[in-house]
Amino acid sequence: MRRYIILIMLFSFIPSYSYGEETYASFDEMLDKDIEYLTNIKVEKVVSTSKVEEEIIKSPASITVISSYEIKAFGYRNLAEVLSTLKGFFITYDRNYNYAGTRGLYKAGDYNSRILLLVDGHQINDNIFDQAYIGNEFIIDLELIDRIEVIRGPLSPLYGGNALFGVINIITKGQTENEAYVSFGSYDTYKGGLILSHKFSENNYILGSATYYTSHGPHLYFKEFDTPDIGDGRNNRGDYENYPSFFAKTRIDDLTISGGYISRKKGIPTGAWDIVYNDKRNFSIDEKQFFEIKYEHLFSNKLNTMGRFYLDKYTYYGNYVYPDDLQKEVDSGNMFGLEIKNTLYDKYFNLTGGFEFRKNFMQDMSVYSLSDGYTLDFKHNSYNAGIYLSGIIDVMDNLRLNLAGRYDIYQYYDNEPSFRFAVIYNPYRDGVFKLILANSFRHPNIYEMYYNDGNFTQKAPESLKPESIKQAELVYEHIINKNLTLSAGTFFSDIHDLIGFDIDPSDGLIVAKNIENIQIFGAEAEASYITGYGIIADVNYSYSYPYNHGSKEEIKSFPSHMLNMKASYPFYHNRVTPALSFKFTSMRETIRGNSLDPIYLVNLNLLFKDFIKGFECSIGVYNLLDQKYYDPASIEHPMDAIEQNGINYNIRIGGRF
């Protein structure tokens, strides 16, 4: 216990900063800029909150922006690791996917369908599971990310159904340096990547990347399989994972063309869905690809017009070995869509209006059994459209209204209106209050509504109602100086008809249900500090109290208390940067009602840069204290909780040219 107290004391003396207040040059650029540039960095803006660029301090939400510099300094290996350091986020891993609970709500195995994940404004959630992929299956290499905009709260008034609890928008780099890198780490993990870029002229460039990752995974032990008729509970090399991924983007003046591809194969080592344990033939493959053409033009500083057209394809392959059978699952989701958006700028107001249309011309699911043939052969297509309007009105110099509304039309579901009303008030220059009232919705996805595996382990429900949320939030942010900011906020959420998976007692099969209405009270606080030299320190705390609307009984699947602390301090002319992070997660309860011990995680990363021009190396040690801890398992797993990795390392070596 003493070592945890020492760590906390060390962190408590570090001031801290939120990226939301200033824009910083990339780590590469910092080395080339003079002192005057480093100390005069403009205020940062975001584009995701209102679909128009605005200052974060005047934006109607609780917002966090993670820069490419922080990703590299702290040695984050995937998007899930980035999100785990943010206030209000609870990240778990079931040895197949990472899941994100947020602000008091966590449903094990929900595929992150209540968070909208974007890449440069393009939706990445698929049209089968509505899944936001935040683990190694995410389509973009972290090396390509310029910044990550995390917007908390209901955002259906601008984005439609998946934005029930927030939006994560990944902004990719434009023209950048050519780079090649390799990394290796624990569990026979290897990764290599190549980024090539060329600038033709101002606002004209081409960028391409290729990445390959492979890992044998750790040796695992599950006591549930330590029986005479199964084995000793050990699983050797069943946690394997590999993928290739590609991304390309080119900009020609106002025209941007981009596309990406990933095919990630992951072993299933937990014996989920009653499959044979420790059989390497159990695996899943997630294949995602997209192509987009976007045109955006500013007319005379008064009118901005944007139009995008896109094609997306998603395929899931599952291979499940049973004692007397073999099942193969193939789910295919293809779609195209378009968005047209216009923003009118005036001295006292901005008005944004837009239209979106998406045609899901394939939403198919099939399960084939060697013994029974096709037990599921479901074919479906659908469309949905939405029209939205958002206004930013400066009533007075220190008072702003931000209003948004959207009406969504669905082919097979009821149409849905959603609204947001926000007041942003500056009682004095460096402090701001934000009051946000909003509602959002989510219709059941194709998987929840129609999936069954021949009624072997799972069946389709008779009907499902859409989820809905109403939220009130009050946020206060204060800029102490150009480096230090403080923020605090509280929120109340009222959620109805929440969808989850449960066991039907009449037949013992897994089925999706509208399981409960819940209410959540929460509070968050953050103190953050950064300088243009790359000194970072951040402390954030989250409290949540979710409870059943009817019985008022507390729901304990989400931790009540979470504390994150992190700090980095470059020295020796910015050539050496140690970065330390600490995360505390309080007790949480599994779906079977058992309590899991609190988590104390410490990670350390050392970044070495430009000892040889263009060369860099990082050494990351994760779970530095080698704590044994568990994440709650979802209903398809035979175990109640899944053990996570102990101490492990990753070494990355790269060069710019």
Residue 513 — φ and ψ, nearest 5°? -140, 155
Read off the pLDDT of residues 482-492 as tens digits, 9 standing for 90 and up. Answer: 889 999 999 99
Predicted confidence band at 60 (pLDDT cuts at 50, 70, 90)? very high
Give, in degrees to the nearest 5, the angle at Cα 408 between 499 and 418.
75
What's the pLDDT at 88? 96
Residue 212 predicted with pLDDT over 70: yes
Mean pLDDT of 544-564: 94
Predicted confidence band at 19 (pLDDT cuts at 50, 70, 90)? very low
Q: Which helix (H) or strand (E) holds 343?
A: strand 325-345
User: Rounded to an integer, what distance in angstroms lies between the CA atom of residue 440 and that of residue 419?
Assistant: 8
- The pTM score is 0.92
Name which of 226-230, 265-269, 608-612 the model is least confident about. Answer: 226-230
Residue 533 predicted with pLDDT over 50: yes
Type of residue found at 539: V
Predicted confidence band at 41 (pLDDT cuts at 50, 70, 90)? very low
The count of structural domains within the chain is: 1
Residues in contact with 424: Cβ distance below 8 Å, sequence separation at least 6, in sequence order: 58, 60, 399, 400, 401, 402, 432, 433, 434
Residue 105 predicted with pLDDT over 70: yes
Q: What are 573's two structure tokens?
A: 């002319």
- The greatest distance separating any two alpha carbons of the chain, rounded to the nearest whole angstrom, comes to 77
Q: DSSP characters for 401-424?
A: EEEEEEEEEESSS--EEEEEEEEE
Burial of 296 (C-beta count, 10 Å sphere; 0-12/13-18/19+): middle
Type of residue found at 626: D
CATH of the domain at 444: 2.40.170.20
Predicted confidence band at 456 (pLDDT cuts at 50, 70, 90)? confident
For residues 159 and 390, the answer to whether their CB atoms sit within 8 Å is: no
For residues 57 and 148, the answer to whether their CB atoms sit within 8 Å is: no
User: Rounded to an integer, what distance in angstroms lies between the CA atom of residue 603 and that of residue 606?
Assistant: 10
For residues 211 and 138, the answer to whether their CB atoms sit within 8 Å is: no
What's the pLDDT at 26? 42
Read off the pLDDT of residues 221-249 as tens digits, 9 standing for 90 and up. Answer: 999 999 888 889 999 889 999 999 999 99
What's the pLDDT at 175? 85
Predicted confidence band at 25 (pLDDT cuts at 50, 70, 90)? very low
Q: Where are the beta strands (DSSP E) in 483-624?
A: 484-504, 509-530, 536-548, 561-568, 576-585, 588-589, 595-596, 599-609, 615-622
Q: What are 22's two structure tokens?
A: 């200033």
Predicted confidence band at 44 (pLDDT cuts at 50, 70, 90)? confident
For residues 94 and 637, the answer to whether their CB atoms sit within 8 Å is: yes
Q: Look up the domain containing 293 and give its range.
A: 2-656
Q: DSSP characters for 76-141?
A: --SHHHHHTTSTTEEEEE-SS-EEEEETTB--TT-TTTTSEEEETTEE-S-SSS-----STT-SS-
User: How many residues would you count in the chain?
Assistant: 657
> Bridge-partner residues for 470, per DSSP?
439, 494
Residue among 467, 447, 472, 556 at smallest CA distance from 516: 467
Q: What are 264's two structure tokens?
A: 């990630």
User: Rounded to an integer, what distance in angstroms lies between the CA atom of residue 9 and that of residue 152?
Assistant: 30
Name which of 95-99, 531-535, 617-621 the model is least confident about. Answer: 531-535
Read off the pLDDT of residues 500-513 as tens digits, 9 standing for 90 and up. Answer: 999 999 999 999 99
What's the pLDDT at 108? 81
Q: Which helix (H) or strand (E) holds 447?
A: helix 446-450
- Residue 363 vs residues 121, 222, 439: alpha-carbon distances, Å: 23, 36, 28
Q: What are 528's two structure tokens?
A: 């953050």
Read off the pLDDT of residues 294-318 as tens digits, 9 standing for 90 and up. Answer: 999 999 888 999 999 999 999 999 9
What's the pLDDT at 10? 41
